[in-house]
Amino acid sequence: MSQIDPGTPTWLRAHNDRTAFRLLLEHGPLTRSKLGELSGMSKPTATQMITRLERVGLIRPVGEVSGGRGPNAVSYGVRTDRITGVAISILHRVIHAVVVDAVDRDHPVVEIATDATAERTPEGDVRAAVRAACAAAGLDEATVSRVVVGVQAAFFVEGDELSFTDTLPGWPAVGARRRIEEALGLAVTLDNDVNLAAMAERSAGAAQNAASFALFWIGDGLGVGVDIGGTLHRGASGGAGEIGYLAVPRAAARLAPEANDFTDLLGGPAVVRMLGGSRETLVEALPRLADDETALAALADRVILAVAPLLAILDPSMVVLGGPTGTAGGARLAQLVADRVDEGAHPRLAVRTSGTGAQPVLLGARQQLVEQIRTQLEADISLAP
């Protein structure tokens, strides 16, 4: 996109058109009259803005609005078929994916089982996710220009390096993002799944008003997303928050003598055993957690051991318990953990349950994609004659 000098007629025109485009994104379809009212522009100026935006393919007529006397007014809306993206969450045995467009409409979330016997690749996993998501949404794959992919791994952006993972068979330690981009012709954002969930927690969950927070993800594996003043802390090599690999303190011996690291203490198999299961998966056992006060108390005893180092180092204003286990424990688990916090050392700490719903990783990826798609579309505004 060429640089436009501020204050020139071309710059003012592009500025007005961007204002109009953002109002259409915010409010949905608008008539010329309503767009002029919301933007503070005259009706002729609003008409010019709509004409230019329609000319470059950003908006189109979507209906008519009755104004009483006289002909109905045409309403215009942002085109959602021109550029789309796909949000993807890659888990151990399944992949979840959903189409994302500029207005963030809800599309079906698809689940693709990974074949344990097939040879997997990063480009193969993403290709399968894009195809399934587009088929479910009834959209042309050709409209997909970018993906945001959450993985159970640390990701170092500058080096395109993955680490701390054992759930991505066939994915190389270096170069996964490049391989996807070259094979599929897409713009690719790779990120740690818990980091994406933390972004969603900040924008739409329990931590919207927190000065700082730590999202403690408790599932088959463990992770921490650290948000300081609205900025996600990733670490020098993308490995911040990989708490599951830390050795447990000596205090854990009375709770789980066999535990060597925090994953042994709080990961999926440990929680299944606490709920009296043996061969169950975590997903199968967790529905019993909310009604089992003994298991909740025992879980809180273990959670506080993992939370304590976070409090000592970060002193956040909030700890959010997320992931399958944290969410299943609900408000009662959060309260039991809060009861175990040293109030003298952390008098202002709040402990909450995640408020981002069943797909927090996809939600965080969706939010990134919406912004990326809108930025990509806005780049065309300066080209409007």
Let me know whether 256 and 325 are in one domain: yes
Let me know whether 283 and 334 are in one domain: yes
Point out the domain boundary residue: 79, 96, 131: 79
pLDDT for the residue 92? 86
Q: Closest by alpha carbon to 143, among 83, 80, 103?
A: 83
pLDDT for the residue 383? 55
Distances (CA, A) of 100 to 104, 191, 195, 246: 6, 17, 19, 36
Let me know whether 237 and 113 are in one domain: no
Query: Is pLDDT above 70 for 246?
Result: yes
Rg over alpha carbons for the chain, rounded to the nearest Å, is 24
pLDDT for the residue 385? 58
Point out the domain boundary residue: 36, 55, 79: 79
Let me know whether 300 and 331 are in one domain: yes
- The verdict on residue 2 lying in a domain is no
Highest-pLDDT range among 68-72, 126-130, 377-381: 126-130
Query: Is pLDDT above 80 for 70?
Result: no
Let me know whether 175 and 213 are in one domain: no
The larger pLDDT score, comparing residue 72 to residue 55, is at 55
Per-residue confidence band for 380, with pLDDT thresholds at 50, 70 and 90: confident
Let me know whether 342 and 247 are in one domain: yes
Q: What is the mean pLDDT of residues 75-91?
A: 95
Let me know whether 306 and 368 are in one domain: no
Query: Is pLDDT above 70 for 381?
Result: yes
Let me know whether 190 and 266 are in one domain: no
Let me know whether 279 and 314 are in one domain: yes
**Which structural domain, as residue segments, surrounds residue 56?**
9-79
pLDDT tens figures, 201-232 = 999 999 999 999 999 999 999 999 999 999 99
| Residue 69, C-beta contacts closer than 8 angstroms, at least 6 positions apart | none
pLDDT tens figures, 4-41 = 556 688 888 888 999 999 999 999 999 999 999 999 99
Q: What is the mean pLDDT of residues 269-290?
A: 95
Distances (CA, A) of 187 to 111, 149, 180, 184: 22, 11, 9, 9
Query: Is pLDDT above 70 for 3?
Result: no
Query: Distance between CA atoms of 370 and 348, rounded to whole angstroms?
Result: 34
Let me know whether 261 and 349 are in one domain: yes
Give the number of domains in the chain: 3
Per-residue confidence band for 1, with pLDDT thresholds at 50, 70 and 90: very low
Query: Is pLDDT above 90 for 152?
Result: yes
Let me know whether 52 and 149 are in one domain: no
Q: What is the mean pLDDT of residues 172-190?
A: 98
Q: What is the CATH number of the domain that holds 51?
A: 1.10.10.10
- The verdict on residue 264 lying in a domain is yes
The larger pLDDT score, comparing residue 383 to residue 217, is at 217
- The verdict on residue 24 lying in a domain is yes
pLDDT for the residue 65? 81
**Cα 136 to chain center, whole Å?**
20
Point out the domain boundary residue: 37, 52, 79: 79
pLDDT for the residue 68? 58
Q: What is the CATH number of the domain that holds 118?
A: 3.30.420.40
**What integer best gives the mean pLDDT of the chain?**
93
Query: Residue 2 belongs to what H/E stretch?
Result: none
Let me know whether 222 and 341 are in one domain: yes
